[in-house]
Chains A and B, each alone.
Chain A
Amino acid sequence: MILLEATLAGLVLGGMYALVALGLNLQYGVARIMNLAYGEGVIVAAFAAWWLYTAGGINPIFGLALILPAAFAVNWLIYRLALTPLVRRAKLREQLEVDSILATFGLLFVVQGLMLVAFGGAYYSYGFLSVPVVIADVTIAANRLLALGFALVLGLALYLALTRTRIGTAVRAVAVDPVAAGLVAIDVRQVAAASFALGGALVAAGGVLVSMFLTFNANIGVVFTMKALIVVIMGGVGNLLGCLVAGLILGLTETFVATWVDPGLTLAATYAIFLAILLVRPQGLFGRAAR
């Protein structure tokens, strides 16, 4: 019974990691921005959901409908105002990666500082749908199930959009070859801006869903940045299926270790798996060997 319970909890956590990492994959894989402030998006969205719920009585599912478009808009603005100058002056992709690391490192401290001023360092949470549900003898909180369901829906929607629509195919084309993408009339800058913004919306979705069942504070954004990075690298940059599998592996590992070994060792276990996979497959589980 404990095994089933831990597995379910691990899948929920892993689903969150996968969703958050999908957004990073868009920002890094398509827009070529290595966003170190990425995980701050989780926390900002979590506080937004908390505030909407406690102050406005708006439940987080409706909150998603407000927060996702707002996150898209904010991230689009960040790209246009702060990152486009870097894109303009970068002659090579590698240079843009380095520049964006420095720029978003600064952004991390700005966002984190603002949240510390607003909310202090205390942990926050709220009780939405925290009623137990029993499935085949396993008990799980309803909010966790709901979070997993929404993560699946969002991930599936993204997958279908990227593989079944022309604009989604164009996004993948920019990821594999931006110069050739320009040759087929794709406005590469616009696609990059939209992908960055969409990535920001996905990480916000992750934040809202996570806030329904985890406690959070203004400092833990960087943990999500790290985990998203691990999932993206472990799954293979630019690979959606890799994101899903690596996210689930991470979630399950953490939950199992916390249940049977020691909660203090989850991070160590995460890195052990990360290292082991990279030793065997440096390009990630589903990545293609470097050109």
Chain B
Amino acid sequence: MLEIARVSVAYGQHRAVDDVALRVAKGEIVVVLGANGSGKSSLLKTIARVLPSAPGGSVRLAGREIADLPPHAVVEAGLALVPEGRGIFGELTVRENLMLGAFARRARAGEAANLARVLALFPRLGERLGQAARTMSGGEQQMVAIGRALMSAPDILLLDEPSLGLAPLICGELFRALTRIREGGIGILLVEQNAKRSLAIADRGYLMAQGRLVGEGDAARLRADPAVQRAYLGHFDAA
């Protein structure tokens, strides 16, 4: 269970994330929707500690405060981030990327089982283990990124716009994979622009604007909310 409170991020004078509180339980998918520049990526990065947050905030994982840990210790604590732009090691092979995913001590014992699970989730990776990651297609690279994060045996998985730039077909494949990851008991915090697809698989959602959370609710309720439809789903109605 991930619980954050009073989390803020400032770039100089500009507050990109302003006093945010949210929670993600085991085995649920929680989506954060927001326009470009609303602070979604900054929020995920600061939870994973690759971006410093303003003092006074709290990030708790299974009750333990992790807001003052370095990034590698956050992964050891059970939280993995798939960053915007994927952050895979392009020069290394798929196998090496997955092996590094299990670099955390917490992941060593279950490494073989986790690898089998990841390859069952993304069979395509199994055929490409020896290939340099940067030579894979966009969708396959996203699979490498998610697979690598899963190799660390996380309790909570953070995903920053995994569907960005992917064709609808592969996008659907990816979102189905997320529901299977949830079945394994992992809690997922998903940042997305694709409101329709993400609300379709999510349990709950938050709405973010200009660094603040401006709404929250069950995914079904958000889908039906006329204001949400106007702001986040309108694009799809028109399409």
Contact = CB atoms under 8 A, between A and B. Distances in A.
A185 B100 CA distance: 9
Contact of A184 (B70, B90, B148): B148
Contact of A187 (B70, B87, B89, B96): B70
A132 interface: no
A183 B81 CA distance: 7
B114 interface: no
Contacts of A189: 70
Given A177-B87, A179-B50, A179-B87, A184 B92 contact: no
Interface in A5-27: none
A185 B83 contact: no
A27 B63 CA distance: 40
Contacts of A186: 72, 100, 103
A227 B36 CA distance: 49
Nearest to A189: B70
B3 interface: no
A185 B50 contact: no
Contact of B89 (A176, A182, A185): A176
Interface residues on A, range: 10 to 19
A185 B104 contact: yes
Secondary structure type dominating chain A contacts: helix
Contacts of B107: 185
Contacts of A185: 72-73, 75-76, 103-105, 107, 152
B205 interface: no
Nearest to B45: A179
B105 to A, nearest CB: 8
Nearest to B158: A183
Given A166-B99, A169-B96, A184 B104 contact: yes
A172 B88 CA distance: 13
B80 interface: yes
Contacts of B96: 169
B128 to A, nearest CB: 17
Contacts of B90: 176
A202 interface: no
Interface in B67-117: 70-73, 75-76, 80-81, 83, 87-92, 96, 99-101, 103-105, 107
B72 A166 contact: no
Interface centre among B50, B70, B81, B103, by most chain A C-beta atoms within 10 angstroms, is B103
A182 B71 contact: yes
Interface string A176-205: 110111111111110000000000000000
Nearest to B91: A176
A182 B89 CA distance: 12
B103 A180 contact: no
B202 interface: no
Given A176-B89, A183-B80, A288-B91, 9 more contacts: A173-B92, A173-B100, A179-B83, A182-B50, A182-B72, A183-B75, A185-B103, A186-B103, A187-B70
16 contacts: A166-B99, A169-B99, A172-B92, A177-B89, A179-B50, A179-B83, A181-B100, A182-B75, A183-B75, A183-B87, A183-B149, A185-B104, A185-B105, A186-B100, A186-B103, A188-B71
Interface of B: 48, 50, 70-73, 75-76, 80-81, 83, 87-92, 96, 99-101, 103-105, 107, 148-149, 152
